[in-house]
Structure 1
Amino acid sequence: MKQIHLGAFLNAGVQGTAGWRHPDASPAFLTAAHYVRIAQTLEAGRFDFAFVPDALSVPRSLGGSFDPAVKWGSGTPRLDPVPVVTLMAGATTHLGVAATVSTGYHEPYNVAREFATIDHLTGGRSGWNVVTSFQDAEAQNFGQATLPPRGKRYARAEEFLEVVTRLWDSWDDDAIVADRESGVFGHPERVEAIDHDGEHFRVQGPLSVPRPPQGYPVVIQAGASDSGRDFAARWADVIFCSHASLESAIAFYADVKARAAAHGRDPDQVKILPAATPVVGVDAKARHEAFADLVSIEAGLSRLAYHVNVDLTRYDLDGPLPTLEEVGVEGHYREVVEYAEKNDLTVGQIGRWYGARTEGSMVGTGTEVADIIERWVDSGAADGFVIQATHVPGAFDGFVGEVVPELQRRGRFRTEYEGATLRENLGLARPERGEWKARRK
């Protein structure tokens, strides 16, 4: 019986468009105690990992101003995810922690050192959510007028991943001996420079941090475009995605697994975890309707504009969503198009729906939500889910208290962690030194 994997998606700031308005939401999202509390809840629920998204700007996608983002809490504020997940790791012993870092506005050496350090300090529980950035507002904080085209962003990301993994491999696993009697600390012949000279980066190496306990920290990626899917199929250990229907999820799952196999990888070593936003309880429908009432059309449109990087104020709110040629997050755009066409929604109606949407349509009792999770996994749509919360910490409390015990009762989810590292708990092999050669384009 296939075991289900669970991750948690957690903003380092407010949750969603109206999560901060929920009467049970914690207002303490700028405090350490907030993230410690959530991390300990997720570990009690035996989650594989928590990951924190990021964007390097206050969005300006709606009307060319950051006012809507600030007014409605859409995409802002965002704390630096790296210290947040480090804090969460320090409050737990098994929970994996992953931070989002862009390949567009960082350098490979810094990122390699950062995640190797976290991996050592946590005993092998770190993950890196790789993004190429999707907001012009981010570009404008780093000396660019607009975001580079998708092809250029992925070309840079390809080289970035090659350099980072080579740096992680620049130390052999047994390079350090620390022999006090002989006075020999390490074997220099087992540490090597990488001398990389490419189109985007020149990096000598070696890394100043020894090889991580996991070999490579777990790589998470959310590519939905054709280039994004191919990139993820070669580099990612976990693929995060979003779907408006079971059918589109099945098609995505089959496509990415086939791409992984075509690149010489074992498809089982690529875990596909769609987003899900459960509302759990005997009164789940009423609770979800009450939550949806907190979402204004403007807040939903602000969130959607942020994700697709398109100013939606230029369109008639009472008309259909036109075809958008170049968007920020293509997975979210495809999800919106599929749902809007199926339900004949106007732009305004899309905004209201998008602000309160529950990916996976998981609204019901713990038993009913567990049924849906099993159906998706057993239909070949997912290896598990990344759980998003309508509000925190209450939504995670409800899932851990009602859905997790039901999945455990059915034998579909662990009652104890299988291993000490995130890779072990996800059922992922530890990469051999030099594996980067097989993954590069």
Structure 2
Amino acid sequence: MKQLNEQMNLGAFVFTFGHHFAAWRHPDTDTNEVISLDYYREVAASAERGKLDMLFLADSGSIPLSDAESSARFVYPESTAVLGAFAAMTTKIGLAATVSTTFNDPYNVARRFSTLDHLSKGRAAWNVVTSTKEGDALNYSMEKLPEHGLRYERAKEFLDVANALWDSWEDDALMWDKQDGIFADKEKVHLLSHSGKAFSVLGPLNIPRSPQGRPVIIQAGTSPAGSRFAASGADVVFTACEDKEEAISFYKHVKGLLPEFGREAGDVKIMPGLMFFVGATEAEAKANEEQFYDLIMPTAGVTYLSRMLNTDLSGCSLDEELPEIELEGNTSRAKLIVEMARKTKQTVRELGMHYAVARGHMKVTGTPEQIADVMEDWFRSGACDGFNIMPPLLPGGMAEFVDQVIPVLQRRGLFRTEYTGNTLREHLGLKRPNSQFAAGETRSMQEEVTK
């Protein structure tokens, strides 16, 4: 149970025209510009005005062209490029971007996020993912994705190398001695000389240590492998869960793994996604939700369900239950969908509609007070440390949440009224990590050079 004086963490999940599957069809959506600085500026201004911890960006490496409607929600600008724009537009809010370990190398990613952490003065975060779509593989010169377990093995080594690169400059390595012409203390700049199963990296990084030491690490998997990966090195876990008791169980499971890796409960924040439909009255909120539902074409919902399950459902009867799905090697989200289908006996059409709305994340419809009630209940019950807010429509939905729900949470003492720190780690209440090389456990760059 949470203490009465504890406050929750809140992120703002930014997603194309909004998180609802058919947001682009909503009458209030301006589709004249798919990627627009004005759009990002409006979203960022609302979220920072609400004193939220961070802006969070998803990413994907492919777009399904089998259905005209479902393709619209897979238009993704490259996430770290958008973070650069966010860094210039904001001064306090954290900035999180998704980058896959399946189609990148540690050195490039470490440089990118270190640069963003410097430019934002300590507000960068990396959502570490292993890609799950076969279409992504075909765009990166692969015939198919590596097996699920192998993807996580690669991700673990990838993150270890990135952390070592961020640590390769100790905090006090820079000297800037103009008199003697000494830029840095070579004893405090370290080679990695890493040679592993997936990567070979000499190092050091060609950028000094950034304000946070390392960018905040976010991880989104809920599979056994994903949970262990998160417990070993993530700072934030972004999870999808619709049931409070299941969320409590997951929370206890991940927190219970932390001692194995020498970590404490406060070292990792668990933040499920939360989609909301808000209104001045409960009836108004439900009418708002129904307007969105009316925009979903049933066939498009099924196409989206097919993508989430990595299985073509186009030949299935929409009004029959989900057929048997091959789950070996599939994502944790796919397994949750199949489990729900078996439990609820929903038809393919109903499942498509359900997951087209919130993609397995919790959904709350009601007045600002009712939405805050649910958030407080989950938080106080030990189901989470906070939430990633998922407005059904953007950019306007961010202002709706900030203007209507945030004040209720603030009055209850559940959320800050002002930023008290400057970095994302400070917003989240996370410790700044020390360089793993500071104790002299490995050879310095000077020792390697003079061998």
**What residue in structure 1 maps to residue 447 of structure 2?**
none
**What residue in structure 2 maps to residue 18 of structure 1?**
22
Q: How big is the shift at 1:14? A: 6.3
**What residue in structure 2 maps to residue 40 of structure 1?**
45
Change (3 A) 1:342 1:151: closer
Q: Which amino acid aligns with 1:311?
A: D
Equivalence map 1:289-438=2 (5 Å): 289-326=290-327, 330-357=331-358, 359-434=361-436
122, 126, 129: which one aligns with 1:128: 126
Matched, 1:51 2:51: no
The structure number with the bigger radius of gyration is: 2
**What residue in structure 2 maps to residue 253 of structure 1?**
251
**What residue in structure 2 maps to residue 8 of structure 1?**
12
Matched, 1:158 2:162: no
Looking at structure 2, the residues matched to 14 and 395 of structure 1 have their Cα atoms a distance apart, in angstroms, of 8
Looking at structure 2, the residues matched to 9 and 157 of structure 1 have their Cα atoms a distance apart, in angstroms, of 23
Cα deviation 1:35-88 (Å, max 9, x = unaligned): 1110111000111001111111113xxxxxx231x4333542111111112111
Looking at structure 1, the residues matched to 96 and 304 of structure 2 have their Cα atoms a distance apart, in angstroms, of 23
TM-score, length of structure 1 as denominator length: 0.93
- The DSSP-based 3-state class of the residue aligned with 1:73 is helix
Looking at structure 2, the residues matched to 329 and 38 of structure 1 have their Cα atoms a distance apart, in angstroms, of 34
Looking at structure 1, the residues matched to 240 and 341 of structure 2 have their Cα atoms a distance apart, in angstroms, of 15
CA contact (8 A) 2:19 2:275 kept: no
CA contact (8 A) 1:46 1:415 kept: yes
**What residue in structure 2 maps to residue 62 of structure 1?**
none
CA contact (8 A) 1:310 1:327 kept: no
Q: Which amino acid aligns with 1:175?
A: A
Q: How big is the shift at 1:286? A: 0.8
TM-score, length of structure 2 as denominator length: 0.91
Change (3 A) 1:293 1:335: farther
Q: How big is the shift at 1:411? A: 0.6
Q: How big is the shift at 1:378? A: 0.9
CA contact (8 A) 2:170 2:438 kept: no
Change (3 A) 1:74 1:344: farther
CA contact (8 A) 1:12 1:53 kept: no
36, 41, 49: which one aligns with 1:31: 36
Q: Which amino acid aligns with 2:299?
A: E
Cα deviation 1:185-227 (Å, max 9, x = unaligned): 2111110110101111111100001112111100000111111
Looking at structure 1, the residues matched to 30 and 264 of structure 2 have their Cα atoms a distance apart, in angstroms, of 42
Q: Which amino acid aligns with 1:227?
A: A
Looking at structure 2, the residues matched to 129 and 344 of structure 1 have their Cα atoms a distance apart, in angstroms, of 34
- The DSSP-based 3-state class of the residue aligned with 2:362 is helix
Q: After the TM superposition, which of the residue ranges 19-28 and 266-275 deviates more from structure 2?
A: 19-28
Q: How big is the shift at 1:436? A: 12
Looking at structure 2, the residues matched to 83 and 429 of structure 1 have their Cα atoms a distance apart, in angstroms, of 27
Cα deviation 1:317-356 (Å, max 9, x = unaligned): 2221234333787343344345434432111111112212
CA contact (8 A) 1:26 1:393 kept: no
Change (3 A) 1:29 1:42: farther
Looking at structure 1, the residues matched to 379 and 323 of structure 2 have their Cα atoms a distance apart, in angstroms, of 33
Change (3 A) 1:397 1:29: farther
CA contact (8 A) 1:18 1:295 kept: yes
Q: How big is the shift at 1:25? A: 2.4
Q: After the TM superposition, which of the residue ranges 290-299 and 175-184 deviates more from structure 2?
A: 175-184
Looking at structure 1, the residues matched to 106 and 235 of structure 2 have their Cα atoms a distance apart, in angstroms, of 19
Cα deviation 1:250-289 (Å, max 9, x = unaligned): 1111111111233221121100000110111121111001
Looking at structure 1, the residues matched to 437 and 334 of structure 2 have their Cα atoms a distance apart, in angstroms, of 34
Q: Which amino acid aligns with 1:265?
A: R
Q: How big is the shift at 1:245? A: 1.0
CA contact (8 A) 2:21 2:296 kept: yes
Equivalence map 1:135-146=2 (5 Å): 135-146=133-144
Matched, 1:268 2:266: yes
Looking at structure 2, the residues matched to 305 and 239 of structure 1 have their Cα atoms a distance apart, in angstroms, of 25
Question: Structure 1 vs Structure 2: percent identity of aligned residues?
Answer: 43
Looking at structure 2, the residues matched to 384 and 363 of structure 1 have their Cα atoms a distance apart, in angstroms, of 18
Cα deviation 1:122-158 (Å, max 9, x = unaligned): 0100000001100000111112111111011011111
Matched, 1:226 2:211: no
Matched, 1:99 2:100: no
Q: After the TM superposition, which of the residue ranges 6-15 and 41-50 deviates more from structure 2?
A: 6-15
Equivalenced residue count is 430
Change (3 A) 1:84 1:91: same
Looking at structure 1, the residues matched to 354 and 335 of structure 2 have their Cα atoms a distance apart, in angstroms, of 15
Change (3 A) 1:394 1:327: farther
CA contact (8 A) 1:8 1:51 kept: yes
Looking at structure 1, the residues matched to 265 and 324 of structure 2 have their Cα atoms a distance apart, in angstroms, of 33
